[in-house]
Amino acid sequence: MPQSPLLKVASLSFERDDCTVFQPISFSVEAGDIVQIEGANGSGKTTLLRLLTRALEASSGSVFYAGVDIDQCLYDYREQILYLGHQPGVKLNLSAEENLRWMSPASTAPEAIVSALADLGLRGYEDVPCYSLSAGQHRRVALARLLTSRAQIWLLDEPFTAIDKQGVAFLEQCMQQHLNQGGAILVSTHQDLAITGVRKIRVEPADDAGGF
Amino acid sequence: MSNAHNAGFTGYLQRDLLLAYRRRGEAASPLIFFLLVATLVPLGVSPEAGRLEPLAPGIIWVMALLATLLSTEGLFASDYQDGSLEQMIIAPQLLAMPVLGKVTAHWLVTGLPLTLVSPIIGIMLSLPSDGFIPMMASLALGTGCLSLVGAVGAALTVSLRKGGLLLSLLVVPLYMPVIIFGSATVQAGIDGLNWFAPLAILGAMLATAVALCPLAIAGALRLVSSN
């Protein structure tokens, strides 16, 4: 019997207000795979990623984690995913360090948090409340989670928004390293990634979605 | 597994207490409201002890209720806006635990301070001395119920931009039993009756709310985030 893929999406679709958001989509992701989700604005890239976190319930189709439906192993599955959405989840009244400590696994060493922030160019900003940071720096605080997390599957929704060129290069390097360590990444972005072996998946709006 | 759930509870409790500490002015506003309105009552009604005395239990409870309601609206709003609510929902743990942590933090920064300053208001409103202990006991239990029930309404209305009025309409009917038995406790204490009976009912309401409200809040938050 062949081994089940890390993540398998079987004819997943989602309806909002009786209107199908995108055409049923199927793909599978193995350890070490990077999948770029493409599609026009409003085609449902974010919806697809949120379906994969199971924050949204799919209208039809299923997601399997290591061969098991994620509804059957929800907590185990969620241990293994890291989702970064449009809103980075950074609390403005907490400092960068407090935010990252808060978002990282409880056993993360304080040094690991400081060094993750330093790697993302936030050295010296550890104790600054986040309301005085810029949009790009906010994003960097959230992205520092990638360095402290132990999740195997990264679900990144437009991770490069407001990030400068050096930042993007650094993140691509992080992503490459994660893949080399047997991780898997699903990323929605309009940019071309400087990572080898990127597989592309197009999210097509459903025919009855209208609008275009 | 249970460790992860406890971590969710204490983690969100600590985080929300820290956030309240960073926004001390905002966190103290229900308390200031409570004190300010209490100073107006003797001016508006009459400073005579004989006229304030019969009104005091009811006035104290109405003000405590309004002060709690005032602070409930923001319970999940900032988490919803900055995306941390979504992270909370997809965390690998029972959603009711972080929710209970957040509500506990809310009670610690609103209900508990209200209970602690209530004797000052008791003096301003010439509450008879027999009523002080029943007042504090009923406020301690009752504000817990108010925080929990209010959080259900706050969770349901979190995605609405102007949810304030709707929130009041949703939760005020559910607050009614709390205020009835809360002020009954104080009145029974003043009249020299056994005030443990209404207090026990408040305790039972709190126990029910602790058991059921986190589940209702978690369900409401999931519903809101799936839109």
Burial B141-158 (b: 16+ CB within 10 A, else e): bbbbbbbbbbbbbbbbbb
- A86 contacts in chain B (CB < 8 Å): 83
Neighboring chain A residues of B5 at a CB cutoff of 8 Å: none
CA dihedral A147, A151, A156, A162 (to 10 degrees): -20
Average pLDDT in the B40-65 region?
A: 90
8 Å CB contact of B90 and A54: yes
Q: How far is B20 from chain A (nearest CA, A)?
A: 9
Binned at pLDDT 50, 70 and 90, residue A210 comes out as very low
Distance of CA B123 to the CA centre of its chain: 22
Is pLDDT of B27 > 80?
Answer: yes
Residue B91 confidence (pLDDT) above 60: yes
- Residue A208, pLDDT > 80, answer no
User: What is the model's pTM?
Assistant: 0.90
The answer to whether A79 contacts B1, with C-beta atoms less than 8 Å apart, is no
pLDDT at position A155 is: 93
Least confident of A202-206, B20-24, B184-188, B210-214: A202-206
A60-65: strand order across its sheet = A25-29, A7-13, A60-65, A68-69
Q: Residue A2 has what pLDDT?
A: 62
What DSSP string describes A172-210? HHHHHHHHHTT-EEEEE-SSPPS-TTEEEEEPPBPGGG-
The CA angle B163-A87-A46, to the nearest 5 degrees, is 100
Q: Which residue has the tokens 């997601």?
A: A63
Mean of the per-residue pLDDT values for chain A?
87
Between CA A45 and CA A48, with CA A46 as vertex, the angle to 5 degrees is 65
Given CB atoms, is A212 within the 8 Å cutoff of chain B?
no
Chain B nearest CA to A1, separation (Å): 30
How many domains is chain B built from?
A: 1
Chain A interface mutation, best of B82, B89, B102, highest count of A Cβ atoms under 10 Å = B82
Q: Write the residue in B18, B86, B226 that is nearest to A57 by C-beta.
A: B226
Q: From the list B23, B93, B222, which residue is nearest A93 (CB)?
A: B23
- Each residue of B100-112: pLDDT tens digit? 999 999 999 999 9
pLDDT by residue (tens digit) across B163-174? Answer: 778 888 999 999
Our CA-based measurement puts residue A78 at a distance from the nearest CA of chain B, in whole angstroms, of: 5
Q: State the pLDDT at residue B117.
A: 94
Distance from C-alpha of A150 to C-alpha of A81, rounded to nearest angstrom: 9
> Of A93, A101, A104, A131, which to mutate for an interface test with B (greatest number of B Cβ within 10 Å)?
A93
Taking only the tens place, the pLDDT of each residue in B65-75 is 999 998 898 89
Choose among A111, A110, A136: nearest CA to A122. A136
Q: Which residues of A touch B6 (CB under 8 A)?
A: none
Q: Which of A55, A103, A106 sits opposite B89 (nearest CB)?
A: A55
- Residue A108 clears pLDDT 50, i.e. is over it: yes
| d(C-alpha B96, C-alpha A164), whole Å | 39
Q: Does residue A18 surpass a pLDDT of 90?
A: no
pLDDT digits (tens, 9 = 90+) for A140-153: 999 999 999 889 99
Q: What is the mean pLDDT of residues B190-198?
A: 93
pLDDT at B13 over 80: yes
Query: Averaged over A92-116, what is the pLDDT?
Result: 87
Interface confidence, given as ipTM, is 0.87
* Cβ separation B82–A129 shorter than 8 A: no
Check residue A204 and give its pLDDT: 84
- Mean pLDDT taken over chain B: 91
Average pLDDT over residues A189-209: 81
What confidence tier does B132 reach under pLDDT thresholds 50, 70, 90?
A: very high
Identify the DSSP state of A35. Answer: E
Does the distance separating the beta carbons of B82 and A55 come in below 8 Å? no
> What average pLDDT does range A83-102 have in this prediction?
88
* Cross-chain Cβ contact A89/B81 below 8 Å: no
Q: What tokens does A174 get?
A: 């992080």
3-class DSSP state for residue A163? Answer: coil
- Per the structure, the complete domain to which residue B195 belongs is given by 2-225
pLDDT confidence bin for B2, thresholds 50/70/90: low
B93 in contact with A at a CB cutoff of 8 Å?
yes
Distance CA B220, CA B20 (A): 24
| Inter-chain residue contact B225 with A81, CB threshold 8 Å | no
pLDDT at A206: 74
- Residues on chain A touching B218 (C-beta within 8 angstroms): none
The alpha-carbon gap from B91 to the nearest alpha carbon of chain A, in Å, equals 6
For residue A176, give both structure tokens: 């490459």
- Average pLDDT on B21-43 reads 90
Q: What burial class does residue A79 get, using C-beta atoms within 10 Å of its C-beta: 0-12 exposed, 13-18 middle, 19+ buried? A: middle
Domain boundaries along the sequence of chain A: 90-150
Interfacial A residues in 174-203 facing B (CB < 8 Å): none
